[in-house]
Structure 1
Amino acid sequence: MRFRYQENKADKAQWREKSIIEYSYLVKHIAARFSMRLPSSVFFDELVSAGSLGLIDAVDKFDSSKHVSLKTYAQYRIKGAILDELRRKDTYSRSMRKKIQDITRAVKTIEDRKGSPATDEEICRALGVTLEAYYDMLTHIHRGSVLSLDDFIKTKKNEAYSKTSFQSNIKSDETPVDLFDKKELKSVLADSIKTLTQKEQMVVSLYYYDELTLKEIGEVLSLTESRICQIHTAILTKLKAGLQDYFH
């Protein structure tokens, strides 16, 4: 019996090493996608290091009876590990956070009053700045840190929605209440996206579903990469404002 145990242990160690090597390419691939939308202050090697830990964790915790496949599981663990590292670094300054809060508050006030999406011009009037200054604010916010829908969406338990979306791609032991909350949240988010302009909805689709880079989206829409950055940042602040009532 002891011999069999040692043999199984050796087989598991061999499978672990083989799996890490086999899926190591995912780490660089995912890290590269992140690096395209991050400021130069974030080093690629740091993303790879965090992603590698995510891959190792995925291999060690993989359970074939619960997860769809090791590759799928590893992809989300790698992405999660990189996001955790970026959040830990927290590159937003206090003044930048205030800008985000000011824009979000302005959008919410306007949309609550008029019952329709806030335009850039209306946001500028509420903030007391010119259109050029507003676009500069969006550019600085985008360059400050990685921006994602996951950063703005929380579940009712105040857990990062990235964990919820991750769980939706693997088999889990979620309760009917968890599934209901997730379905409701998706519905609220979908309704919020419908309030965006046609151009903004196109950016959401190309960025989050087709996984194009901001530069590639600019080429599709015949806009500069910097303008797409501004639109993307404005989208996130608008969605955050629109979802505040749901979470509070």
Structure 2
Amino acid sequence: MTWDAFRRGAAGAAQGEEELRMLWRRFKDHDDPQAKERLVLTYAPLVKFVAGRMNSQLPSHVEETDLISYGLMGLIGAVERFDPERQIKFETYALPRIKGSIIDELRSLDWVPRSVRARSREIERKAAQLEHKLQRAPTEEELAEALGMTLDDFRAAITQISNSSIVALDETWSVSSGGEPLSLIDTIADTGSHRPDLQMEITELRDTLADAIARLPEREKIVIALYYYDHLTLREIGEVLGVTESRISQLHTKAILRLKGRLQGDGEVDRG
């Protein structure tokens, strides 16, 4: 790239940012509906991104177009509530709200059988109990035996839970001393926050989560790191580890169930 081309690209980016600032001022100061519409259209790719990531974890009968429709409601709400004066990027503010809007709509449809949810909670509890007893993460065989299942039945249950999971890290992982639910999303820094007590609890949750991840079996730890920190898809992780996407999905689900059981177990101990 020549220096002139670089300067033109930089000038174009600066011009685009200035146009965005003008749109935000028109909408927030004058409630301009056209400015609002243009802002929604500008940030619409965020909805496509979130819907695409979530769709890869959902059953095949869930259409991505439906997820996009649910996510757009979250985007519109984020545009309406966002304060451009705060020192936070709109993308950071909007992503969890788009994701939350999709999750809320999916849950309202109640498409996950109660038996699957009950089995998921049972595995979470049993994994936490065994880890406390053994002082290490239990193996598949140990978990299956404790649950009174064959190894094949246990793996089939994990696959079923995996196919019905909706972004498990968005769910409540702990409860603050004030009774407020805390999820992993709450660990995203908010420079406009003025709640030092809640920030301390979020920091404690982050530390507890890091400790729980460190205690996972090695392959599950790798899957969590590659998926949530390096943002690889399940298929890409399978290629890295040399196993099928289905096997990676099982490892991911087992890791999430272990982590939830561990963190919720800690919360019960703390509240006792």
Q: Equivalents in 1 of 2:139, 2:184: separation in Å? A: 29
TM-score by length of 1: 0.88
Q: CA deviation at 1:158?
A: 4.2
The answer on whether the counterparts of 1:152 and 1:236 sit within 8 Å (CA) in structure 2 is: no
Q: 1:110 corresponds to which residue?
A: 130
Give the root-mean-square deviation of aligned CA atoms.
2.2
Q: Equivalents in 2 of 1:169, 1:9: separation in Å? A: 27
Return the structure number with greater relative CO, CA threshold 8 A, min gap 6: 1
Q: CA deviation at 1:63?
A: 0.6
| Pairing 1:1-248 to 2, within 5 Å after superposition | 12-156=32-176, 157-165=179-187, 168-248=188-268
User: Alpha carbons of 1:244 and 1:10: their partners in 2 closer, same or farther (altered >3 Å)?
Assistant: closer
TM-score by length of 2: 0.81
Give the AA of the match of 1:216: E
Q: Secondary structure at the match of 2:231?
A: coil
User: Alpha carbons of 1:147 and 1:131: their partners in 2 closer, same or farther (altered >3 Å)?
Assistant: farther
Q: Equivalents in 2 of 1:160, 1:188: separation in Å? A: 12
Q: CA deviation at 1:163?
A: 5.0
The answer on whether the counterparts of 1:66 and 1:170 sit within 8 Å (CA) in structure 2 is: no
Partner deviation per Cα, 1:54-82 (whole Å, 9 max, x = no partner): 11111111111225122332223212212
Give the AA of the match of 2:186: T
Give the AA of the match of 1:62: F
Partner deviation per Cα, 1:200-247 (whole Å, 9 max, x = no partner): 111001111122211111111111111111111111111122112321
Give the AA of the match of 2:181: E
Partner deviation per Cα, 1:97-127 (whole Å, 9 max, x = no partner): 2211221232122112121111111111111
Partner deviation per Cα, 1:33-73 (whole Å, 9 max, x = no partner): 11111102222122111111111111111111225122332
Kindly tell me the number of residue pairs found equivalent between the two proteins.
Answer: 241
User: Alpha carbons of 1:152 and 1:225: their partners in 2 closer, same or farther (altered >3 Å)?
Assistant: farther
Q: CA deviation at 1:8?
A: 8.6
Q: 2:16 corresponds to which residue?
A: none
Give the AA of the match of 2:244: T
Structure 1 residues without counterparts, runs of 5 or longer: 1-5
The answer on whether the counterparts of 1:142 and 1:229 sit within 8 Å (CA) in structure 2 is: yes
Q: Equivalents in 1 of 2:77, 2:223: separation in Å? A: 33
Q: Equivalents in 2 of 1:134, 1:107: separation in Å? A: 13
Q: Equivalents in 1 of 2:213, 2:28: separation in Å? A: 51
Give the AA of the match of 2:64: F
The answer on whether the counterparts of 1:203 and 1:217 sit within 8 Å (CA) in structure 2 is: yes
The answer on whether the counterparts of 2:235 and 2:244 sit within 8 Å (CA) in structure 1 is: yes
Q: CA deviation at 1:20?
A: 1.2
Q: CA deviation at 1:9?
A: 6.2
